[in-house]
Every structure is written in structure tokens, then in C-alpha cells.
Structure 1
Amino acid sequence: MNSTIRIKLSLMMFLEFFIWGAWFVTLGTYLGVTLKASGSDTGAVFSTQSWGAIIAPFIVGIIADRYFNAEKILAIIHLAGAILLYQAYKAANVDVLYPYILGYMILYMPTLALVNSISFNQMNDPEKEFGKIRMWGTIGWIVAGALISYVFAWDSEKSIAEGLLKNTFLMASIASLVLGLLSFTLPKTPPKVDRNEKIKIGELLGFDALKLLKDKNFAVFFVSAILICIPLAFYYQVAHPYLENSGIANPTVKMTIGQISEALFLLLIPVFFKKYGFKKTILVGMLAWSVRYLLFAFGNGNELAFMLYIGIALHGICYDFFFVSGQIYTNSKAGERYKSSAQGLITLATYGVGMLIGFKVAGMIYDAYKLADGSVDYKMVWIIPAGIAFVVFLIFALLFNDKTKPEPEV
């Protein structure tokens, strides 16, 4: 890969995740404080991510894989996304905001696969080269948080009160416009599938891999993966408002500690997975969710602020040790025939079904513990997902008996 292509792909990844991090992290606070949205309304807005994940296979599998170059679709999607994010910036209430965010996430979620496809198409050795390109996505997310907290201070108490958090949508809109224009200059990535080949909807959604559920251990993992997404949704939906309410300064950039942790723990996955096997690795990930939420429940923004920072830093273990290990395990069980279908099925089950349920539950719990004076009993809001995660931990520990240690393919 020559240096010009490497720079373009790195910038593509940087902007791809800069855009997401620019508005998604602060969304919970913006909805609750600026737009006065209820927990249920907030859950509905966050669930647009899940609807996007469910619809994404159709866009990528039917359109990108058959009819148009991936870089051109990426360009058109991000140009359209810039318009939708700008409309979200101007939205005066949650009812006006919702359709724009829904439309945006239906467009955005497929781009996560498109940027990977464009990158892989330029690589001779993806296992060695992809990590160096994908790293720029994490950097983009972190830079977005730093701009919000340190450069513009949109997440300060004063700025939030003045409604300046809406500027995050404007920043994301501008970045989306830039990425849309940049995408036209990216290396050509033509369709991989003959447009005349019969479309199999079940294959696009990963339904071909349902045969794997005949294996009891894979079925236990599959159900556990859906259930663990319920507590995961609490983090995305409630963490930023909670940190803001706790008095943590610059909460947006502080939450990027989680992305740094994610990048670091990703390096430990192959070693841990090979030495201890899938079951112990994923159990550590599940238990980390309970520990993290208990730290949130009993910590505060003053003398116990360190508990909140530890909770944020646990994101690497929570995410990598469960989701990345789960992808490796799924890959090892699927075999050559069902590898793509199996990964699609797990994505649909977790980011689609699991998170959809999770955002709904998180909104209901948030509303249930909202007090008469408008404050929230955050201790209970965090104890409940901690309990859910621990129940999933017990279910998996008792029912999953696969002793194999498949070689990691990362």
C-alpha cells in the first residue's frame, strides 16, 4: 500500500468515528437537559442505532455488494448524513429530532462495514495492516471528545444550560460533509458479487448460521450475547448524564478513557484467549460489567471520583473480553461455510435485538427512578444493570461447558 492510499484510508477512519463520537456520547445529556426528554423518549432515540444495525445488511449486502462501488456509496451516504445531522442541529424538540436521527443511523450503520471493505480491498496482509488503519478511528473518537470538552467546552455546566450541546450535531455535520467529499477520492472498490446472482435475504441477515444453535454451547453464548447488551445500553444512554450530574468536569473527554482502554486491552485478547480459553475470557468480560456499574452506583464526583474513572477505564475489558472474544469464538465454530453468516447473525442479535431491548429497558428504569424534584436516583439506575450483568454471568458460567481453546484469529 503506498503512502497516499494509507493516508486517505487513515483519514477516512478518523472521520468515520470522529463523526459518531462527536454527537453520540453527549446525546443522553442533550436529550435530558436541553430537550427535556423523558427516559423512554431518550431510549427511543438511542434505539435508532439498533434499527440501523438491523437494516444495515440490506444496504451493504444488496446495494454495495452488487451494484455500486463502495467508496461512491460511502460518499453519498455521508453527504446525505451531513444534511440530516444539520437538521438535527436545528431540531427544537425530541419529536422533531427523532426522525432525523433515525434516518441518519439507518444510513450511518452500514458505513461501518463499508469503510472496512474499502480498507481490506487495498491490503495484501489485512491481519498486519488493518489494525494500523483502524487505530485512527479510535483516535478520531478521542479527538471529538477533546474538542467538545477542552476546545469548545460545550459540555461545561454553563454551556449545557445555554443549550450549546446542539453544536455537536453541527460539528458532526461538517465532518460528514468532509468525509463525503473525501470518499470520492478513495481507491475504487467495485462490487464483489454478480448483480444477477439471486439475493438470499436469510444469508444477508446471517440466518444461514442458525444451524449453529443446534450446538448447546453456542446457543448459550448466543442468548447470553443478547442479554448482556441490556446492561451495555445503560452505559451509552446514561453514563454521560450521570457524570455530568456527578460534577465531573469535561465528562465527554473523560469518557474517551474507555476508548483508550479498549485499544490497549485489544492487544491482550490473543494472549488471554489462548492461555485461558473462551469461557474464562468472556466471564471476565461479563463480570467487569457488574463491577463497573457498582463503581458507578457507589462512587461520586468528589472524594470517590476515582471509582467513576475506574468504571470508565473498565470499558476495554467489558467490550473486548466479551464482544471481540465472542467474534473469535463464533468464527472458530462457524467453519468456512458459515463464517460471514455467523458474524452477521451475532451483529444482528447484539447491536440489533439486544441493544434495542436494552435502550428500552434503560429508559424505563431511568423514568422509574426519577424523583419528584426532577433529580434521579442514579444508585438504583446502576445497581439494576449490575444485577442483570451478574445474572447473565451466572447463566453462562453454569450452562456453558465448551472446554476448547480455539486459536485466536485477530
Structure 2
Amino acid sequence: MNIKNRLTLMSFLQFFVWGAWLITIANFWLGTKSWDGTQFGLVFGTMGIASLFMPTLTGIVADRWMNAEKLYGILHILYAAVLFCLPQIATPTNFIYVMLLAMCFYMPTIALSNSISFTALKLNNRDVIKDYPPIRVWGTIGFIVAMWITNLTGNKATAYQFYIAGIAALILGIYAFTLPKCKPQRLTKENASLMETLGLESFKLFANYKMALFFIFSMFLGGALQLTNAYGDVFLDEFKNIPEYADSFVVKYSTIIMSISQISETLFILAIPFFLKRFGIKQVMLISMFAWVLRFGLFAFGNPTDSLWMIIMSCIVYGMAFDFFNISGSLFVETNTDSKNRSSAQGLFMMMTNGVGAILGSFTSGWAIDKFFTHNGERDWHSIWLSFAGYALVIAIAFAILFKHKHNPEEVVNVSH
């Protein structure tokens, strides 16, 4: 098997082991277990908490002491072990703590998988810019396949979704030890300060008004992503409580409907170079923000029969909402920081979106839904999605007014991040 195929398999499994439960866990928590909705927000908050420190810590280990592929394999085996334990947990509080442990093992593997891919391609004299995107897109396909398997096997509301993910994670962990050796580079200077060692120098970027504003908006958009991941599937599934929709395709195969979002994501990636060259980074990020407004607004008015098209369109719009901000945001960081802190600045971008933003979005949404939009155990999804759409609209308008950035047509478009 050539190196591209080996890395493609790694990428496929990397996101398969996440997609098997990420979109469907709400059905397990709110439906099967009937646990508290406020606490459910904390489940997605565990990803943000883990993202605040684990990628940095494992990055230091991989840079200085252990081969990246070995660390990657160990983390996936540990992740699998914790996933096997999750179904045995009897209380929501303990479940959250165990999920946090699982995320501490999983979240850093996303960055490690990128590092392994780049290193392996370079070792084999391959063109990273050309060869990496087709490898990475199989990660999204793996996520979609996992969602379909969980749904079609009737496990979108059962504990077996964790076993599906756990078995795949164990296979990936073992497979990782066969990947090309990615030896520690010991890039940190011998006399480096603690700030340099931990990659904290990038926090100085907050002293720059434009960069600080960008990171703050990244945090708010990170919160929006958690809203759709956490509640999208359970929203569709709860149409079963309305007699006229109970036997609809949307209710039976809600996870498959949600997977249209990921399919859309793979397609919009191809459109990003054109949009960036034509409109510039700021306009593309604005398009993303208004796409979030549409994502939530269409959900608010959609239903499984005469307004099914709204649900489908919401899933299609997701690809634009997610990709346009993340990829153009990465490019903005790339073109507005110098080489000495560019990597750590990218890490700060991810921390603000997947860390701080995820935590705030998860905690706040869980509390707000339970307090203001749940009546006699029934969630008012129309009002929930409209409030989320309003949130995204306020962010978009504020960004358009406050964020100043002149379009430079010569900016290099790199979609292989």
C-alpha cells in the first residue's frame, strides 16, 4: 500500500471514531437516559476543555520525546478504552467526567494526524499542497460513514454507538504503529523560556487590535458550531412526538439527513479558492456568518413533510457556514503573523474556536434551552433555532462593522491546512 493510501485510511478512521457518536449522543442523553438538558451542554464542553491544553501538551511530547505516530497510537488506544467504559456509567455527572477523559485522549489526535500526514508526505518527496486535500477529505467521508452506520444499525439512541467508535479507535491505535516514523525534532531551543516552551508567545497577538478582534469573533463562531453539533440530530428525532411526522423518513433516518451537512462540506471546500480570490477573506468570513443565520433559520421553519426542503437546504448551507470561516480564518492567521509565531498563532485560532468558543457555546446553550425553551419536558425547537439565528445575525453585523481588512487578490490560498 503506497503512502497516500495508508494516510487516507488513517484519515478515514480518525473521523470515523468521532462521527459514530458526536451527532447522535443527544438522542442517547436526552432520549434514552432522559438526563438533564442543562448538563448535556457540559458534554460538548468537554471537547473545549480538552482543546485548551491537551494539543499543546502532546505537541511538546511529540516535538521533544516521542515519535508522533507512537503517541498517536497510544492516545487512540486509551480513547477506545474510555469509550468502552462510557455505557457502564450510571449518572450524568460521572458520564461528563469520563467523557472529559475521552476527549483528553481524542482531541490532540486531530493535530497529530495532520502532523503525521505532512511528515510522511515530505519523507516520501510528495507535494503536500497537492496531495494532502484528497487525503483529508476522506476524514469527512469517514465521519459520514460512521453516522450512517450508527443510524442504519438502529443505534442512534443506544450505547452501542460508543462501542462502534471504540472498536474503530482500537483498530486505528494499533494501525498507527505501522505508519512511517515521525521522530521528535526537538525544535524548542535549549534556553527557551517557559512561555516559548509552552507555545504561549502567541498570546501577545491579543495586543494587536485586528488580531484580537479576529480571535474574539472566532470564539463566537466556535460557539455556533457546537449548537448545531449538539442539537441538530435530536431536533429531527423529536418530530416523532408529533403524530403526523412520527413515521416520516426524517425521523427514522435523522442522522442520515444530518450527514448531508458533511457531504456539503466536502463540496464547498472546492469553492473556497474562487470565493477567496474574488471576494477576499473578510467577505468570505461574512458569508460564513450569514450562512449560520440561514442554517438556524431554516431549521426553525422546517418540518419532515411540506417544508422538508428547508431542512435539506439548512444541511447544505452548513458546508458554507463551517468551511468558509475555518479555512479563510486559517489563511487570515497565516498571512497576518510572522514565521516565528505562525504555528502557535494557528494553535491559538483553534483554541479560541474549539476550546473557549466550544465551552461557552455548550454551557450557555444547555442552560438557555433548559431554562427558557423547555416546557413540561417538551423543547420549543422553533424558538430555539430562531434565537440561535438571532445570535449569528448579531455576530455577523458586528463583524461587518468592527473588523477592518483590505482585500489583497495576491493572498495565497492554501486549502490544505
TM range (shorter): over 0.9
Q: 1:210 maps to what in 2?
A: 203
* Among candidates 319, 322, 326, match of residue 322 of structure 2: 319
> Is the contact between residue 72 and residue 173 of structure 2 (CA under 8 Å) also seen in structure 1?
yes
In 1, the alpha carbon distance for the partners of 2:306 and 2:41 equals 31
| Cα distance, 1:122 vs structure 2 | 1.5
Q: 1:135 maps to what in 2?
A: 137
* Among candidates 79, 86, 110, match of residue 112 of structure 1: 110
Note the alpha carbon deviations across 1:233-282, whole angstroms, 9 max, x for none: 21111111101112423111221111111111111111111111111111
2:404 is the counterpart of 1:401: yes
> Is the contact between residue 84 and residue 100 of structure 1 (CA under 8 Å) also seen in structure 2?
yes
Give identity over the alignment, percent.
36
TM-score when normalising by structure 1: 0.93
| Cα distance, 1:214 vs structure 2 | 3.9
* Among candidates 193, 212, 215, match of residue 219 of structure 1: 212
- Trace 1:8-407 onto structure 2 (pairs within 5 A): 8-123=6-121, 124-150=126-152, 152-155=153-156, 160=157, 165-193=158-186, 197-198=190-191, 202-203=195-196, 206-247=199-240, 248=250, 249-405=252-408, 406-407=411-412
> Is the contact between residue 39 and residue 362 of structure 1 (CA under 8 Å) also seen in structure 2?
no
In 2, the alpha carbon distance for the partners of 1:194 and 1:268 equals 36
In 1, the alpha carbon distance for the partners of 2:190 and 2:221 equals 37
In 2, the alpha carbon distance for the partners of 1:83 and 1:409 equals 37
| Cα distance, 1:53 vs structure 2 | 0.7
> Is the contact between residue 44 and residue 358 of structure 2 (CA under 8 Å) also seen in structure 1?
no
Unaligned 5+ segments in structure 2 are: 241-249
In 1, the alpha carbon distance for the partners of 2:6 and 2:233 equals 32
Divergent runs of 4+, >6 A: none
Note the alpha carbon deviations across 1:199-251, whole angstroms, 9 max, x for none: 65544665323343344333322211112222222111111110111242311
In 1, the alpha carbon distance for the partners of 2:259 and 2:190 equals 44
Note the alpha carbon deviations across 1:356-395, whole angstroms, 9 max, x for none: 1000111012102454431111112111121111111111
Cα separation, partners in 2 of 1:216 and 1:336, compared to 1, 3 Å: same
Cα separation, partners in 2 of 1:5 and 1:310, compared to 1, 3 Å: same
> Is the contact between residue 373 and residue 383 of structure 2 (CA under 8 Å) also seen in structure 1?
no
Cα separation, partners in 2 of 1:241 and 1:153, compared to 1, 3 Å: same
CA RMSD of aligned residues (A): 1.8
| Cα distance, 1:198 vs structure 2 | 5.0
| Cα distance, 1:72 vs structure 2 | 0.8
> Is the contact between residue 223 and residue 353 of structure 2 (CA under 8 Å) also seen in structure 1?
no
> Is the contact between residue 35 and residue 92 of structure 1 (CA under 8 Å) also seen in structure 2?
no
Cα separation, partners in 2 of 1:239 and 1:225, compared to 1, 3 Å: same
Cα separation, partners in 2 of 1:270 and 1:389, compared to 1, 3 Å: same
In 1, the alpha carbon distance for the partners of 2:193 and 2:288 equals 35
| Cα distance, 1:340 vs structure 2 | 0.5
In 2, the alpha carbon distance for the partners of 1:233 and 1:119 equals 27
> Is the contact between residue 62 and residue 199 of structure 1 (CA under 8 Å) also seen in structure 2?
no
Q: 2:245 maps to what in 1?
A: none
One-letter code of the match for 1:86? F
In 1, the alpha carbon distance for the partners of 2:237 and 2:294 equals 21
In 1, the alpha carbon distance for the partners of 2:412 and 2:182 equals 31
> Is the contact between residue 230 and residue 361 of structure 1 (CA under 8 Å) also seen in structure 2?
no
